[in-house]
Structure formats: structure tokens, C-alpha cells
Structure 1
Amino acid sequence: MSSALLNSTDIKAQALRLGFVACGLAKAEPVAESFAERYLHWLERGFCAEMDYMRRNVEMRLQPDLLVPGVRTIVCLAMNFMPERQQPAISLYAQGKDYHDVMKQRMQELMQTCGLEGRCFVDTAPVLERYWAWKSGIGTITPSGLIAVPGYGPTVFLGELFLTSEADSYDAPLPGAMPTKSGWQSLCPALTAEGLDARKCVSYQTIEHRGELPESIRLHQTFYGCDRCLRATPQFVEARPTEEPAFQPSEALLEMTPNDWRNLTEAQYRTLFKGSAVKRAKYEGLMRNINRWLKQT
């Protein structure tokens, strides 16, 4: 661990230069007991469905120094993904290139530029990223569990730097950042007073679930992911088009029609979604979704 304090002002300035829209710093401490209890209760209720990785390494999720020994500071970063032009059948976040690759490259550049020591994570490690985004003051947690960044709303990707040095200053959570969920159940059947039930979530079913879709799942505008809770968030009015070219859809994707989707071949799929997060569903899974979507729209 370096004895020199991290320059929080410089880190934030460089983050903005690299295309991040928000950056905050939090002390690397155990997750607050109230938040940890909610997470454990969420697991006990089976709300994570078949996402078994959510049940693994729980201790690491709650104690950051078990994930990165010697961690002292957690830098939270947000990048706007709202595309200017949109393919309505695909969730907004997946219209462009895979955010894991785009974000990680920028985060590694930030670490190199600022001489930071530690590790970077983008949605692939046992990290409670929305908790740390709240803790570092970059956004508020909405009743649907999303992070809303002031001036950009909920259309953001999150990433974290786990650093082994103390910082010269840390950020505080924004006011009103831990809401109740009452009244939101009518917006989406997956939302409950105790959190989101992935078993009823269209995003989970169309992306993570393998096998046939349950008959109870109704696809609305999209067949990959779902933006229903995103668009219902009051802060969605703050969403603005991203300046990041990598998150804009290709012309080929924009031009796809329902008939094109119906006749999509595996070769076309590989070309259309090269370097895209949509490939997580695989060709068979995507065609399963498309067939259900065509029947319901």
C-alpha cells in the first residue's frame, strides 16, 4: 500500500476527460448492516432465480477487503449509455458495444494516467455496485433498485476501482438516496416491497434464463432485456444522448424490422452482434425470445 494520499480532485478530472459522467470516492469499509441484511433477505426469498453466482462469495460482497486485500478506497464511476437513435426491440443498454469492454479499457487508462494501484471491476465480480455508487455520492437508488445520476438519470453503466491507498477526501451519499418501494409494484410485476424478483423479470428471463420462457412472461416492446422500470423512473426525464460513440447502434441494427428478426440466421446474428452484450443470450436464446415476441406483438 502506498503511503501517499490519492488526489481525489485529479482522479475526478481525469475520469471526466475519459468520458465518465460521474466519479465519487468511498472508504473501503464493510457494507452497512441495514443494506447487507436486505441483500441477504433478497437471497433467502429466492429473488435471484437461477443466478447462482449471486449466492456465491457473499462475504466478499459485504467485505471489500476479502475481495482485494489491502483495499482502502473504492472509486465509483458512471458512463452514460443512452443512444441517440434506437432499435426499439433491444434494451437501451445493449444497443452498442459491450459495456464491459468499453468501461474496463477506460478504467485501466484512468488507473495508468493517475498512477493508481489496485483492481477494476465492471459487473463481473462479487461487488454490490449500486451500494457503492450510493455510498460514493454519484447517484441515488431508485425504488426499482437502479442508480440515477443527477443530470443523466438511470441510463448509466457502473464500474469500480478498488485501490490500496487512502484518499485525501471522500464523498457522502446524496440526500434521499435510500427510498422505499411502496407504490411501485403496479409498474412491473417483478417489483415487490422487498426488492426485484428476477423470476418475474423480463430482463432476467430474456437474457439469463436458459430453456423455455414461462407462459406468465409477456414481452412488450423489447425481446432482449426490458426498459420498463428504467422508463418509469422519475429521473428518466434527465436522460440525455451519450457522447460515447461505442454505445450507439449500428445502421444495420437500426434497420432491422420484425420480418428481419423472424428470418435472422446464425451467421447474420454473429455479424450483427459482434462485440455486443446481446451475445450473452446466444443465438438459440435470442430466437426463442423473438418467436415469443412476434406472437405477443
Structure 2
Amino acid sequence: MTKTDNTRLIKQWTQELGFHHCGIARAVPLDEDARRLEAWLQQGMQGTMQYMENHFDLRIDPSRLVPGARSVITLLMNYYPAVRQREDAPQVSKYAYGNDYHEVIRSKLKELLGKMRATIGEVDGRGFVDSAPVLERSWAVRSGLGWVGRNGNLLNKQAGSFFFIATLIVDLELEYDAPFAGDYCGTCRRCIDACPTEAIREDKVVDGSKCISYFTIELKEQLIPEAMKGKFANWMFGCDTCQDVCPWNRFSRASAEISFSPIPAILNFSTADWEELTEERFREIFRHSAIKRARYAGLRRNLRFLEEE
């Protein structure tokens, strides 16, 4: 088959697997992105997320992850929920409403690569979903799927930003999509003005060390800095403020992916329910949820912090 045939098949399979957008770019070193990442790290905006500093060379060169890499396939999967949790309860970022996206999407990438090998032939490749040194937003832009907004999220004109980004690097030559040209944030600064901790800077840089998601998920220390008190807007796990206020998310539609259907406890738990949650019940209820990433002790810390605000 020709690379045109292969490209058409791959895009067809991604739709069948539940991905909403697929873009393909030539696998090349990301030199300009490397310079931006290096500057961000040098300013300490990764906070205690030291893993961001690791494997720098792997992040910028796909051939270091897949020898002989020819193509980077970028996929978007919608996770926007049809229903929201009660407003008077500690808030959970919408991406964590359902099953852990790492588990869900990783299995789909494995299936996609299996289809490629069964139909196209011997293909070497690796799939990644927010768990390896891949600059997925950069690849998304290069494959025509959208632009990076002021809030650091990939924005798609048809779908907004409530989607997961997955990457499949393969040693197969394919037809490539045109990079996304333009920035459609215009003069809008709603995300900057709405950010509770002023983590979004004027120069389209997000200070990760000031983000609520960082404090409630990534920070493993026992205490959240006193300077953050009164700024969390009742967010217990993650934060969606900058996405909720983004005008492009008026195009968000409820996801049809069953695995992302909200866990009943997230929708129904009151503040008291969260506070009375035992570690055993936490492990039982959230065993397939991204919330387990914060661990029981981290969740308890976050709840205490909200109580003190």
C-alpha cells in the first residue's frame, strides 16, 4: 500500500477507537521548543516537579524514543462531562471524573499500533499519554490540531480544550498535515484575569509552581504554602478555572467515551462525605481514577487546606 493508503487507514482507525482528532507530523528535532523549555526550567517554573528536568534530549528528539522515527501521530480524545459535580462540594478537575485516562488511552494506542502491524506490516513505534518525555502540545500544533493558548492548553477551533492529547511515534513514512498557523486568542485575557493564583503570565507562559493543579496533585510535601490560603476557590484536585472561562470552550460537547463517565462519588459526595472518607474506601472507589495520583494523604491535606481558607 502507498503512504496515502496507510495514512487514510490510520485516521480511520483512530476514529473507530474513539479519538476525535488525528494529525500527523514529520518526526524532526524540536529545536525552538527545546529553547523555550530550557528557559522555563531555568526560571524554576516546574517547582518540585523534578521529572520535568529529566531526559531533556528525549523530549526534543523523537528518534531518541523510537530509533528511525519518521512520523509523529497526535490524537485528541474529548473528556468533557455531560454532568457536573455539586457546586457546594470540594471541586475535582473534570479530566478526573471518570477512569484514569492513562489506562484508557494507553490501551487504545496499543490497539492502534496492533492494527498497523497487522495490516501495514512491521512497524516500530511507541505510544505516549502524558507519562513520558514528549512535548505533545508542540506536536499537536505541528500536525494542525490547534494552537497553544495563553493558559498553556492546546485550543482547537471546533472542540475547545477539554481533551486529552496522545502521541504515537512510528518509523513509518506517512502523509503529513500542515502545521496550525495563527493564534486565535486575540486580545482575550479571561484566563489570565480568572486564574486564582496568578499562575498565567502576560507572555503566554504558565508558572507551574503557582498553579492549583501543582499544589493539589504534584506537590508531595505535607503542607501547602501559607501564601496560597484563600486562593484555591474550593479546588481540591486540579483546577479548571482557565478552561471554564475560555470562550473557545463554548464548543465543548459531552464525551461519548464510556470510560470517562463520572464516578458516582465525584458527582454526589458532599464536603462531609469527602472528609469522612477512609483510606480503605478511597482505594476502593478511586482504584481506576486519576485521583489516586494525589494519594489519600494528599487528598486529606488538600481538604484541610480548604477548611482553613
* TM bucket normalised to smaller: over 0.9
Closer, same or farther in 2 for the Cα pair 1:59/1:146, shift >3 Å?
A: same
Match of 2:120 in 1: none
Percent identity reads: 37
Whether the aligned pair in 2 keeps the contact of 1:22 and 1:77 (CA below 8 Å) is: yes
8 Å contact from structure 1 (residues 107, 120) kept in 2: yes
Aligned to 1:131: 138
Task: Report the CA distance shift for 1:13/1:127 in structure 2 as closer, same or farther (over 3 A).
Answer: same
Q: Structure 1 residues 100-109 or 170-179, which shifts more?
A: 170-179
Shift of 1:224: 0.3
Q: What is the RMSD computed on CA atoms of the aligned residues?
A: 2.0
Q: Which residue of 2 aligns with 1:255?
A: 268
Of stretches 273-282 and 252-261 in structure 1, the one that deviates more from structure 2 is: 252-261
Q: Comparing 55-64 with 178-187, which one deviates more in the overlay?
A: 178-187
Q: Is the 8 A contact 1:4 1:165 kept in 2?
A: no
Moved over 6 A (4+): 178-182
Paired residue for 1:91? 93
CA distance in 2, matches of 1:295, 1:228: 21
Q: Structure 2 length as normaliser, TM-score?
A: 0.89
Length, aligned pairs only: 292
- Equivalent residue, structure 2, for 1:185: 192
SS of the equivalent of 1:223 reads strand
C-alpha separation in 2, matches of 1:159 and 1:105: 11
C-alpha deviation, 1:139, in angstroms: 2.0
Equivalent position of 2:279 in the other structure:
266
Instruction: Tell me the secondary structure at the aligned position of residue 196 of structure 1.
Output: coil
Is the Cα contact below 8 Å between 2:70 and 2:170 reproduced in 1?
yes
After TM superposition, list the pairs within 5 Å mapping 1:206-245 onto structure 2: 206-211=216-221, 212-217=223-228, 218-245=231-258
Cα offset, 1:160, TM superposition: 0.6
Query: Are the equivalent residues in 1 in contact too, given 2:216–2:294 (CA < 8 A)?
Result: yes
For structure 1, which segment, 155-164 or 259-268, has the greater mean C-alpha deviation from structure 2 after superposition? Answer: 259-268
Matched, 1:20 2:26: no
Give the unaligned 5+ runs of structure 1: none
Distance between the aligned counterparts of 1:47 and 1:182, measured in 2?
Answer: 24
Once the two structures are TM-superposed, the CA of residue 187 in structure 1 deviates from its matched residue by 2.8
| TM-score when normalising by structure 1 | 0.92
- Kindly provide the CA deviation profile for residues 231-265 of structure 1, in whole angstroms up to 9, marking residues without a partner as x: 12221111111000111112233220011111111
CA contact (8 A) 1:95 1:248 kept: yes
SS of residue matched to 1:75? strand
Report deviation, 1:228: 1.0
Give the stretch that moved more between structures: 119-128 or 190-199.
190-199
- Paired amino acid for 1:101: E
